[in-house]
Chains A and B, each alone.
Chain A
Amino acid sequence: MPIAKTRSVLSGMRVKEAMRRQIVAIDHGQTARCGIARMIKYKADLVLITDDRAGPAGIVSKTDMTGAFYAGLPVDTALGDIMMGPLISCFADDPLEDALETMNHHGVHQLFVKGADAGRFEGLLTFGDILGLVYRYCHRCRKSHARRMSDGNDAVFPSDTLVEEVMTPDVMGCRVNDTLTLVMEMLSAQRKSAVLVNDAGDKPAGVISKTDLVLAWYRESDAQTLADAIMSVPVRSCHRKTTLTDAMARMLVEDMGRIFVHDSDHGRIVGVLALADAANQRSGTCKACVSSRLL
């Protein structure tokens, strides 16, 4: 009996089509403060740490920095003291689907990309990069929502994937008067990258992501600072019936790692859609790919 293999937008694509060339590298002797400044400037989620011979030695991600903040380390701690390893990598010619599998298997949000010289990294692949490629592919597809609108094509097309089909329904929340220490404990225990901050009336008041926590450490805030002092406002959200296409566009354009999902009541958050959730959807923005590409 033949085995059906599902293909997706990513099938046949290579890592090099989605990866970015820019890698933020910094010497292991530099301070976390310098590392964070580089991350701010280049909008990076991590820095590659290099050894005395400028070779790759490890990485320091926002998660590592949040851990250092929680541990009470000063922001002038050497990056070499908080870096993690080993570096998870792939090759530029690897299939994109394999790279996505590797990211999920190792629970990482990025892969370093090796080229012909295996001792040197040529680029970086993130969920956002994959999503950007999927979005561009789908946007150009003749069956896409955008093309249907612009072409005035009234043929029957597969339905769009909705946010509620892909979102994670469990949303972690804290209170505006919770301390950053508690927020960091929640994020660490749940392995999440952001927490919704609710006001006294249990309405969403803001969001604290690891980026906010890293910035708080950089600005030398105390870990006992209350959540409302550093949270990002407003809570950016979309309706659960929003198409994945529109949600992806918003996340990519507004540079969001996640978008919260509300019900008919804007103040009722029912889920969260992360870049990883959308990237793992693979089939793009409508159901055409999955239904038409069964081998």
Chain B
Amino acid sequence: MKARDVMTARFWTLKTDDSISQAVKRFRQASREQGKNVFGMMVTDDDDHLVGMLSMYDILLFVQPRHAGVWAELEDLDQAGMFDDLLGRVKNIRVGDLMTPDVVTVSPHTHLMVIVDLMIKRHIRRLPVVDNEDVVGIVYISDLFYHLLRQYLA
């Protein structure tokens, strides 16, 4: 009943200097390799220490037009083209600009019930597992869910 029992030791990371375009490609690559959708990824520095997390939500928040309500009124315009133009203007934005720098982490020895508590109270879906400043894994809420409720699957 510890983090190490459910964590995924094979994980993908991003660097702060990666572009948003690189991050999007990496999300898709990770999802394909892991056989499940990866919605968030850890961001590490040159020493592979955790410095933040970037989720699809963070990216969507950024690319969402500021006046989203107006878009719904503009059926007569080429919205797809305009959205592409908007995306074209974010080329100089980096992962480090959008990531969440304050990350909640657990150790490999953290009890699963503590992790459940953290995930519920803080609306967290993935938790990096850090051991002596080194990232050793990540606990996804789906893995935790199926691990704890596996007897129902039998």
Listed in ascending order, the chain A residues whose CB lies under 8 Å from chain B are 34, 37, 40-43, 128-129, 132, 135-136, 139-140, 146, 149-150, 215, 249, 252-255
Contacts and interface: CB of A to CB of B under 8 A. Distances in A.
B41 to A, nearest CB: 16
Contacts of B70: 132, 135-136, 249, 252-253
Given A41-B97, A146-B76, A132 B69 contact: yes
Interface in B79-129: 82, 85-86, 92-93, 96-98, 101
Nearest to B63: A43
Contact of A41 (B74, B85, B98): B98
A254 B85 contact: yes
Interface residues of B, number: 22
Contacts of A40: 62, 93, 97-98
Given A34-B101, A150-B76, 7 more contacts: A37-B98, A40-B93, A40-B97, A139-B73, A139-B74, A249-B77, A255-B86
A140 B75 CA distance: 12
Contacts of A136: 69-70, 73
B82 A254 contact: yes
B66 A41 contact: no
A255 B76 contact: no
| Overall SS of chain A's interface | helix
B54 to A, nearest CB: 10
A228 to B, nearest CB: 15
| Overall SS of chain B's interface | helix
Which of B66, B71, B73: most chain A Cβ within 10 A? B66
Interface of B: 58, 61-62, 65-67, 69-71, 73-74, 76-77, 82, 85-86, 92-93, 96-98, 101
A288 to B, nearest CB: 18
A253 B71 contact: yes
A194 to B, nearest CB: 15
B97 A37 contact: yes
A255 B67 contact: yes
Contacts of A149: 76
Nearest to B71: A253
Contact of A43 (B66, B74, B96, B101): B66
Which of B62, B73, B77: most chain A Cβ within 10 A? B73
A150 B77 CA distance: 13
Nearest to B83: A253
Contact of B67 (A34, A37, A132, A215): A132
16 contacts: A37-B96, A40-B97, A41-B58, A41-B61, A42-B61, A43-B62, A128-B67, A129-B67, A132-B67, A140-B73, A249-B74, A253-B77, A253-B82, A254-B82, A254-B86, A255-B65
A139 B76 CA distance: 11
A135 B77 CA distance: 15
A136 B101 CA distance: 37
A128 B70 CA distance: 11
Contacts of A252: 67, 70
Contacts of A43: 62, 66
A42 B64 CA distance: 9
Contact of A135 (B73, B82, B86, B97): B73
A132 B65 CA distance: 12
Contacts of B65: 253, 255
What 5 A-B pairs have minimum CB-CB distances, sorted nearest first?
A: A252-B67, A252-B70, A132-B67, A139-B73, A40-B97
Contacts of B96: 37
Contacts of B66: 43, 128, 255
Contacts of A37: 96-98, 101
Contacts of A254: 82, 85-86
B62 to A, nearest CB: 6
B60 to A, nearest CB: 11
Contacts of B71: 253
B62 A41 contact: yes
